[in-house]
Amino acid sequence: MAKLYFRYGTVSSAKTLNLLAVAHNYRKQGKKVILIKPELDDRFGKEKIKSRAGLEKSADLLVQPDTTLDLKLFHNVNCILVDEAQFLSEYVINQLREITVILHIPVLCYGLRADFKSRLFEASKRLMEIADTIEEIKCTCNFCNKKSVMNLKHVDGFATVEGPSVQLGCEELFYPVCFNCYKKQIDDAKRLKLKEKAFAN
């Protein structure tokens, strides 16, 4: 049976670059690959899958939370690659799982595990539950030399856990961090807010 893979990492861990490299290798061997991305991710244009390193490809299929995947689209396909998988719905993830069983096509999903509030995305949670293989794409903390495991959001130079979990086009606000740096910066920001509140009163 073909496998469902979840390859996750923090922001700036080269997830998309990894995906594009896999796509290149398959196509170099004359194999057919389908590239999927969530339609809401229009940072570089709706159909563009682009890495921070500058490499890019056009997605073959854009999906919405309620998209029903037509199995005919995957005829003679050797591999399915999914970018920004955390923005998919559980409904779509379940269909990708079925594709591995019915059509025997491996599906590789790349994405974040959790948001900047340290909460699992819906799709990531489902992938953690049903994927055959879960692999971490490692990255170093932006503020020390430890491995990053969290996504930290800054607003006006300070860490925050406020705001929507999905915030596209604001990559400069997010940093890959280890848990210690994440906790320290969140705690420091909370203390600062308390001080400002005390001075205001």
Q: Specify the 3-state DSSP secondary structure of 74.
A: helix
Give residue for tokens 């390193």: 53
Active-site choice (39, 47, 84, 162)? 84
CB atoms within 10 A of CB 164: 8
Q: How far is CA 158 from the centre of its chain?
A: 23
d(CA 14, CA 92): 24
| AA letter at 18 | N
Question: Annotated catalytic, 39?
Answer: no
Note whether 93 and 86 are within 8 A (CB).
no
SS (H, E, C) 16-41: HHHHHHHHHHHHHCCCCEEEEEECCC
Cβ pair 50, 77 in contact under 8 A: no
Please enumerate in sequence order all residues whose Cβ is within 8 A of that of 199, keeping only pairs 6 or more positions apart, or say none. Answer: none
Residues that are catalytic: 84
